[in-house]
Amino acid sequence: MAIPDVPGPDSNHQRPDGVSDLTVEALGKLSEALEVAEHARGYLYGFHRLTGKADLNLSEAEELFRKAGHPGIADRLATEIIGRNVIEGRWTFQIVEDYDDNYFSAFKSFEQEARDSLVGGKRHLFEAEMKEERRTKGRPHHEALPPEA
């Protein structure tokens, strides 16, 4: 059953006049790369949390070794493993901070500056145009825009 449809995308996702297909494609690829870096950043934070949890669990193991009458193993665990750097001179929080400060923030800023200078800051133009090409106009669940509130 066909339903009325409004043209899309909305003005925030329409290509400004004079912007080429290649520019939209390049910005789309840049955005895709930023999404991959964001995903990697999530893994890095996961690595940070899991490593921290492991270190806290080691403290419990140390205590249990002491209770079980193995002070030598407990002492070695406490001095050789617990609180150890995961990379020379760094705990995971320092790795996360370095990634954010020296790579991710520069990448995110560059992507924003490219969009600002080329398309007035508009986001996801490539995807918005892909949606228009791929959706079946007039079909339920293929609407150009969400319903008005």
For every residue of the chain, DSSP letters joined together read --------S-GGGSPPTT--HHHHHHHHHHHHHHHHHHHHHHHHHHHHHHHHHHHHHHHHHHHHHHHTT-HHHHHHIIIIITT--SBTTB-HHHHHHHHIIIIIHHHHHHHHHHHHHHHTT---HHHHHHHHHHS-TTSTT--SSPPP-
Global pTM reads 0.83
In a domain, 143, yes or no: no
In a domain, 148, yes or no: no
| Mean pLDDT of the region 61-79 | 98
In a domain, 106, yes or no: yes
Tell me which residue range forms the domain holding 126.
22-131
In a domain, 5, yes or no: no
In a domain, 149, yes or no: no
Nearest to 93 by CA among 56, 58, 59, 44: 44
Mean of all residue pLDDT scores within the chain: 93
In a domain, 13, yes or no: no
In a domain, 11, yes or no: no
In a domain, 51, yes or no: yes
Number of domains in the chain: 1
Q: What is the pLDDT of residues 11-65, one digit of tens each?
A: 889 999 999 999 999 999 999 999 999 999 999 999 999 999 999 999 999 999 9
